[in-house]
Structure formats: structure tokens, C-alpha cells
Structure 1
Amino acid sequence: MTQFKIVFFLIFPFLLFSQNEKIPAEQLKQDLTIFRQIREKANSGVYKYRTKKQIDSIYNWAFSQLKNPREVMDFYKIILKITDFEGSVHNTTTLPDAYKNRYASEKVFFPLPVKLIENKMIVNFKNDEIPLGSQIFSINGTTINKIVRSFYKYYTTDGYNTSGKVIGINAVFARYYEMEYGPKEKFLVEYSLPNQTEKLSKSINSIANDERKERFKNRHSFPSDSLFYSKIKEKYSFKIFSKNTALLTVHTFAIGDNAEDKEHIAYRKYLDSCFQMLSVHPEIKNLIVDVRNNGGGSDPNDLVTFSYLTQKTYRENKSAYINFQKIPFLPYFVYEETETEKKLEEKNDFEAELKEEYPILKGKIHSQDPKFNRVLQPDKNTFKGQVYLLISPRVASAGSLFASLVAGKTNAIVIGEETMGGYYGHNGHTPIEYELPNTKIKTQFSIVNLEQDVPKKSNQIFGRGVIPDYKISQTFDDFMQNRDAQMEYTLKLIEKK
């Protein structure tokens, strides 16, 4: 299972067409036709959350937008809407490499880091223009609600989930604004001061991209959300919180690529030592498992971790299937290798692996070999006390699979906010990428349609992430104080029990 990564869409020109050049409508229609053909042939998740009628409808809309020549950026936004509509956190559609230096030094970006708190857009940077904690109502006459909705297509999530989109919006609000509304020299902002209702207006100047990045690094909320966006150095930890409570934190499952990897073996030994200790200290009746920063990683890190939290046998998935054994649309396939001979070798190796794991064709190509989805046993040192699972919108891919197993197959109490990764399943494991011939837009998706081995639950809606038993979100006061509301709530809940 590939690790979910935050994708900051970098846009920027050079060779085939100038920045503002319009592409003939027929070329755009050709790219859109190829885009659809590729996805319907190769992407097993196209109809996971959408009916044929719904997919037909959005493509009819897309083609209706291509009656005249359009710039690549306009076409890109159309493609993004389709990509997002499918509903997979592993869908990524990016602009051509030729765009990589656009606005490298020009001052065109919104100058203030912001954060969505309780569905309000809050200034997330100490500055002399619009104070930290102020609420923004509109920018250049467009309401903040409309702006936020227009950004949804830039950041994909599983199914119908929208909570996870906040992760991208908070990180690159200024980048998304430039992409959606164009470069600006000034911004007219309607806002109110912290804890006040009177609306004020101020015109503020744009900033360059380097300063945008620097301001985000120095955002007010850094102490409480740094691991959402930074490279994770300490991937996991364990500590005793009190005489009856322990805390296991797993920030990522990118802990080695497979069961033979040295990093995975070290992690497994670490887990075993922690749970051996818990098994000889029965007075520790509560275990908090914090995966709020966990955007994914590789098997079997997620499954091994779960083995210490369950008393029953389990599997990763109920079913897994793909749409092809031979790579379709090879002229548009993006290889990792560059030499012709190595490309052929890459293709043959990839297809051989697919045929080994997915040999059974029944309309779709299923994996039924037990060695790829075997029944797993709980560890002998499995924890038998009360588990409290902390989740957030950042949780996806292998992180959300783990959270789904814990929420669905144990008595854990789940606290926090809905994950962006699906509860019942997702598309994952094997990413592939294609490039459209005329616009050079690239599109990547994972080809394995996975139904996770979790039970139906009344609070779990198809197409949504893991829903917490106790929804605890950061309040405005929590934000201003950089307080960990979810951890505080969990400790109080344990104290009451």
C-alpha cells in the first residue's frame, strides 16, 4: 500500500506552449477522450462511488466546456473536477513539468497563512496587517465559503469525504487561490478581529512564493500541526502516561517497504518489547493509540501493529481486484526508466507481478491466493485492556486501513475527527501514471480496488472515512493556545471511567 502524500500542485512554463497560449479544442477533446479511456480501462475505482450515469454526466459537462480553444490551466481544472469526483485519495493529476518556474519570484500570492477552525477561516500568522486569530469573510469580493468549495478539486480524498480537504487548503491556501483566481497584486479582505463581530476591510499586498513558504513555516499553529506537513523524523514512540495508562504513537507506516526490510524488523521488535511490558503490568488498563498524523505507508507495518490490539483473527481485505494484467495505452504510460531496454524490462516485470497476484478473471481480475491475503493471528502479547484510538482528517491509505480495523474489529473508543481515508475500502497498493499527449498533463492513480475486512456499523456510512465515537475538534480557543483538545478529552474520559 503506497503512502499517501500531501500533493502541493506546483505550476509553472517552458517549451511546447507559452503560459497563455490556447490549445485547439480538438486537441483538448482528444486528451479528454484518452483520459477517460485510460481511467475506465486501468482504474478499477472509477465506479466505486459513482454510477455509470454520474460518470457519463460529468464527462458530458467536461466536453461541453471544450467548444473553443482553452489554456492548459483551464483544461487542468476540468480534469481535476473529474479526478476528484471519482473519490480516491490516491488520485493525483498534475500540470506539465514545463510549468515548474511559474511565478518563481513575482509577488502574486495571498500573504497570510490561514486555518479552518469550526468552519471559519482564521488568520494563522502573527502580523501587523490583519491580526492573528481574525476571521476572514471574503477576499476580493468572493465569500470564503465559495473560495473553499472551489478548492476542493485540488485535493482528493476517498469517497465523499470533505474533512480531509482541509489539510491541503490549510497548507497551500495561497497557491490554490492563485491557481483558481489568477495572480493578484493586492487583496481586499473583509474580516473581523478575534472575538468580535464588526466587519472591517483592508487591502493587503501580495507576496512572492519564497516568502509564502517561509510564512507557512512560521505559522502560529506549527506546535500543534507540524507533523501534518513536515517530514517525520521520530516515526513511532511509546511511553507510560500514568500508573494505569500508556500511549503508543505511530506517525507513519512508512517504516520499511516489506517484511524483510531492516526498518520494519526493528519496528516489530520495538512493538513487541512495548507489548511484552504491558502484558506483565496488568495495572495498565488503558492504551491510547495516536495515529492522527499517519498518512499511510507500506504493508505489513499497519497489520503488524493491529495484531497487538485484537484478540481475534483478521485479514487485510475481503476482496481485491484490478482491471488489467497487461498495461493498457502504453504510448501514454509514464515509465520510471528512461532507456528503451529498461522500459521493456520494467513493463514485463510489472505485468508478471500482476499476473502472479491477480490471476483469476471473473469479469474483474481477483486476487484469491491466500499468501497475498492470508488470515492473520493476534500477537501473543496482544493488549487486553481498553484502547482509545485518536484519529484526524490527515489519516489516509494504510493509516485509515489500520484505523478501520481498530474501529471495526475491536472495542476501541475512537476519538477525534473523520479520516480522509475510507472505512469500507479504497483504491491502493499499486500506483501507475499516464501523460496526456497534447497538454502533457499527468494523471496518477492506484489500480487495486480494495474492500477492507471490516464489519458494517450503524455510524459508518459508505463513502466516508472512519467516524469517531466522540467527535472532538479544535476550537478557536484551542487554536489560539495550541492546545491538544483531543488528547485532553481522552485523558479526562479515562479519568472518569
Structure 2
Amino acid sequence: MLKSKIVLILFLPLLVFSQSEKWPAEKLKKDLTIFREIREKANSGLYKYRTKQQIDSIYSWAFSQIDEPKELIEFYKIILQITDFEGSLHNDTRLPDDFEKKYSLGNVFFPYPVKLIENRLVLNFENSEIPLGSQIFSINGIETKKLLASLYKYYTTDGYNITGKSIGIGSSFAKYFQMEYGSQKSFLVEYSLPNQTQKLTKTIYPVSNESRKENFKNRFSLPIDSLQYNRAKDKYSFKVISGNTALLSVHTFVIGRNAKDKQHIAYKRYLDSCFQYLSNHSEIKNLIVDVRNNGGGTDPNDIVTFSYLTQKAFRENASAYVNFQKIPFPNYFVCEETDAKKQQEELKDFEDEIIEEFPKLVNKKYPQDEKFNLLLDPDKNSFKGQIYMLISPRIASAGSLFASLVAGNTKAIVIGEETMGGYYGHNGHTPIEYELPNTKIKTQFSIVNLEQDVPKKANQIFGRGIIPDHKISQTFEDFMQNRDTQYFYTIKLIDQK
């Protein structure tokens, strides 16, 4: 599967506006028009979850919002609404770097990390002002339910999924709050103490971006959720945890760039040794596969891992296609190269790869050539016992493709929370990026629309992530003890059987 990533830098005239200066409506409308035309031509997932009428409607709304001049941040929030509405976790729209840095200067951020626990927003930091674990009901008069809904657009997920947005809220709540509501001189927090109902209020004061980041690094839940936000040093591990149960943890599929990479080869050898061991120890009848921290990565790590868990032949996906062979709107396309001649070579190489993998136009689409989606056999040492797969809202991209294959094509018992990556498919594999000519806002999306090789199941809903067989979230009591609710539930389930 094509994995090229085209990033940054076009030579276009730079128009400088201050943070508070308003942009002329005609320039914003020009950027919005280009934004739409790019996505209509290049984004094969534009109508994956939304009808044309729905897409037309949100653009009508967007244009109605810019009849008058607007500040860049306000225009950015309009663009974000559209980006999120499309329904792809690979969508990413960013402010110009210089603007975002200036916008984040000074003491402007909510000081403490928060976390969603049992649908409650709780304080996730030990401090002397508001006790750890306190439930937050409102901030500066904005009720939590309304507050959270207003921040969802800052963190995209597949389809109509909401659970995955908790990952963005947990890591960047203060940043999102500041973007959405502007700099605050203080925060009036309405809250209740842990396990109490009486509402209290406390005024706390903003901190710098550096302090915000430092507090997040020292959040209370770090022992449990560190791997959700940081790439693991130990990307995978295997251990026997009892006489009849083993645990395979794969925290990421960022394990080398391709099948020839030394990291991937080492991973494949590691899997060989693990499953050879399981094959030789038939008393181990249960395998827990923990991919709760797996936000994706590169081929063929996901597919190789699945080959050790299935008993029948499989494909990576049922179908895949792109919208184009020649890059639309190359003047706004963002390249790695800065030299004009090298940029042209880069674009040609990229287009040649697309033509090789997606060679023919069929019904206004370019489907993937079958040689890039071969029928694959299970590994000879594939596990034949009972699989228990642990999932979470963090699972995305290649992580969700793997989890979908396991959930759909094996007898695995799936435990945890709905993933942010879709069960039936997603847009992925090949990200491209454009820069809008006036505002310099950058927008990235993936161009391969793929349907995963999974069966329809009653409990799996189109437009949603992978739905677990046992919906188990961390309880508040376990949060306060940094205890892994899902893991211990699984152990208990195995013991009962």
C-alpha cells in the first residue's frame, strides 16, 4: 500500500495579519472556495459518511458565517467544523505555525489536566486548589456538556464516533478551551469533591503553555494512560501471566517503514518466537491481545500480527480506491522539497506511485490493483485458543484495521470501549497536505478510501468504531487508585470460565 507522505512548503506571497486584525470577507471566501474544491477533487472520503446534500448544507452555513470580516481564529473554527463533519480521523487542519505560537503566548491556559471518567469531567492533577478527582460542572459559567461539545471539532474521529474525542480532551483540554473561548483572566470552576454531591466554586488562574505541558506530563493518571499519548519505548511485549493465559501487547504499529525495515524484521522474528512458544505449550488456551494504545502505523505490521490470530486466508481490505492520478490544485500542494525543480520531481514520483497502485479509471474511481491486496494465509503457528482483545478510544488507523479484522474474522471476545477508528473502513494510507493561499491554514487528509475485509455484524454499526462485546470503562474508584479496570475484568472473566 502506498505510504508516501507529502509535507510542507510552497513559495507563495505571505500576507501578514495580527492576531486581532480582521480578514476581508472576500479573501476568506476565496480560501473557503479553494478548500472545498480541493476536497471535492482529491478527498475520496468526502461522501463516505455524509450525503452531497449534507456537505452542500455545511458549506452554505460556512459561507453565511463570513459575510463580514473575521479574525483568523474565527475562520479557522469554521474550517474545523467542516473538517470534523467529514468524519475521518486522518483529517488535520492547522493554523499557521507563527500565528499559533503568538496566540499561545502568556498565561492563558487552564492550569490542570482533566479526564473523562464515567461520562464525568474530573480533575486529573494533585494540587492545593481543587482536589484530585473532583467533578467539574462548569467553567466560567459554561456547563460541562456544552463545553465538551464545543471542543469536539478540534479532534477528528472516524464516522460519527464520539468516544475517540476523549483522547483529545484528555491531552489538550486547556489548548482547545483557549482556542474556543479566548484568553481568560481567571477560571471560575464549579465542582464537587470526590464522591460528594455538594457543589462548590473556586477561582483559579491561567498558566503558560510551558506550565500546561509540564502539568500534563505530571498528571495523576500517567501510570495508566502514558502509552495513549507517547510513543512507547517498548512497542510490543509478550508474557505468560498464568498457567493457561498469555498476554501480547502491541502499543503501536510504527515499527519500521516497510517490510524490509530492520525494525519490522525484528518484530516479525519476535512474533515468530512468541507464537512458536504458544504452539509448543498447548496448556496456554487463552491469549489476551492488548492494543488499547495502538494509534496506528505502517504496513505490514498490522497484517503480519493478524496472521498469527486467524485460521483462514484474508486480505488487508475488501476494496480501495482514490479519486485522482494527477494531483489536483498543485499550486497549493505542500511538498517536502523547497527547490522548484525538485518539487516537480517529487510530485511526478508521487503521481507515478499512485498510477502504479491505482492504474485504471472505473466508474469515476481509480480502484486498487489486486497485486497490492493479495490473499494472505494464516501463519503456521497461528493461535488456536481463545482470544481476548482489549480495545479503547485510542485505537485508530492501522490499529483499528487490525482490531476490525480480529473482531470480525475470529472468535475473539472484545473487551473495553469503542475505538475511534471505524469497523467497516476508513480513509487512510496516503496523507497529502495543502496550504490555503491567503490565510496559510494547512489542511491534511488521506486519499485512499478503503473498505476493510470484515463481515457485517449485528453489533457493529456503520459509521462507528469497533463496538466491544463487553463494554468496560475505567471506574472512578479505579481511576483514583490507578487501577486497570479492563485488564482485571478480563482476568476475572477467564478465571470464571
Q: Which residue does the alignment assign to 1:264?
A: 264
Q: Distance in 1 between matches of 2:254 and 2:491?
A: 28
How many residues were matched structurally? 487
Instruction: Confirm whether residue 380 of structure 1 aligns to residue 380 of structure 2.
Output: yes
Q: What is the CA-CA distance between 1:366 and the residue it aligns to?
A: 3.3
CA distance in 1, matches of 2:144, 2:46: 31
Partners in 2 of 1:488 and 1:74 — Cα distance? Answer: 45
Cα distance, 1:185 vs structure 2: 1.6
SS at match of 2:361: strand
* Residue in structure 1 matched with residue 392 of structure 2 by the alignment: 392
2 CA distance for matches of 1:220 and 1:299?
34
Correspondence 1:328 to 2:328: yes
Moved over 6 A (4+): none
Alpha-carbon distance in structure 2 between the residues aligned to 1:189 and 1:231: 33
Q: Report Cα offsets for 1:451-490 as digits up to 9, x if no partner.
A: 0000000000000000000000011101100110000000
Give distance in 2, aligned partners of 1:116 and 1:167: 9
Residues of 2 paired with 1:451 and 1:366: CA distance? Answer: 14
How far the C-alpha of 1:183 sits from its partner, in A, is 0.4
CA drift of 1:42 comes to 0.2
| Residue number in structure 2 paired with 1:459 | 459
Task: Tell me the residue number matched to 2:11.
Answer: none
Match of 2:496 in 1: 496
User: Structure 1 residues 407, 265: closer, same or farther in 2, change over 3 A?
Assistant: same
Identity over the aligned pairs, expressed in percent? Answer: 72
Matches within 5 A, 1:6-17: 16-17=16-17
Q: Which residue of 1 aligns with 2:292?
A: 292
1:167-206 equivalences in 2 (<5 Å): 167-206=167-206
Distance (Å, rounded) in 2 between the aligned partners of 1:169 and 1:186: 20
Deviations 1:336-359 (A, max 9, x none): 110011101101100000000001
Structure 1 letter corresponding to 2:249: T
The 5 A counterparts of 1:129-278 are 129-278=129-278
Q: Identify the residue that residue 6 of structure 1 maps to in structure 2.
A: none
* Separation in structure 1 between the aligned mates of residue 472 and residue 2 of structure 2, nearest angstrom: 28
Q: Secondary structure at the match of 2:349?
A: helix
Aligned counterparts of 2:37 and 2:346: Cα–Cα separation in 1: 23
Q: Report if aligned partners of 1:2, 1:397 keep a CA contact under 8 Å in 2.
A: no
| Whole-angstrom CA distance in 2 between matches of 1:370 and 1:55 | 32
Letter aligned with residue 407 of structure 1:
A
After superposition, where does 1:298-447 map in structure 2 within 5 Å? 298-447=298-447
**Matching residue of 2:9:** none
CA contact (8 A) 2:113 2:215 kept: yes
Distance 2:73 2:368 in 1: 43
Q: Deviations over 1:300-350 (max 9, x none)?
A: 000000000000000011110000000010111101110011101101100
Letter in 1 for 2:157: T
Deviation at 1:163, TM superposition (A): 0.2
Residue type of the alignment partner of 1:205: Y
Contact 1:433 1:445 in 2 (8 A): yes
Instruction: State the SS of the aligned residue for 1:310.
Output: coil
SS, match of residue 438 in structure 2: coil
Q: 1 CA distance for matches of 2:100 and 2:56? A: 33
Contact 2:296 2:397 in 1 (8 A): yes
Per the TM alignment, residue 2 of structure 1 is displaced from its structure 2 partner at its CA by: 9.4
* 2:486 equivalent to 1:475: no
Q: Secondary structure at the match of 1:137?
A: strand
Deviation digits for residues 59-80 of structure 1 (CA, Å, limit 9, x no counterpart): 0000000110001100000000
TM-superposed deviation, 1:105: 4.6
1:47 is aligned to 47
- Give the Å deviation of 1:365: 3.2
Q: 1:72 to 1:103 in 2, by over 3 A?
A: closer
Spell out the pairing of 1:46-125 with structure 2 (5 A cutoff).
46-103=46-103, 105-125=105-125
**Structure 1, unaligned stretches of length 5 or more?**
4-13
- 1:368: how far off? 4.3
Distance 1:231 1:426 in 2: 23
1: distance between equivalents of 2:277 and 2:74? 58
Query: How far did 1:123 drift?
Result: 0.6
Q: 1:2–1:298: 8 Å Cα contact kept in structure 2? A: no
Please state how far the C-alpha of 1:111 moved relative to its aligned partner: 1.1
Pairwise CA distance, 1:98: 2.2
Q: 1:97 Cα shift? A: 2.0
Structure 2 gaps, min length 5:
4-13
Which SS does the other structure have where 1:50 is aligned? coil
Mapped partners of 1:224, 1:308: distance in 2: 27
1:17-48 CA distances to partner (integer Å, 9 max, x unpaired)? 11111110011111111000000000000000
Aligned AA (2:61): W
CA distance in 2, matches of 1:105, 1:22: 20
CA shift for structure 1 position 103: 4.9
Q: Match of 1:360, SS?
A: coil
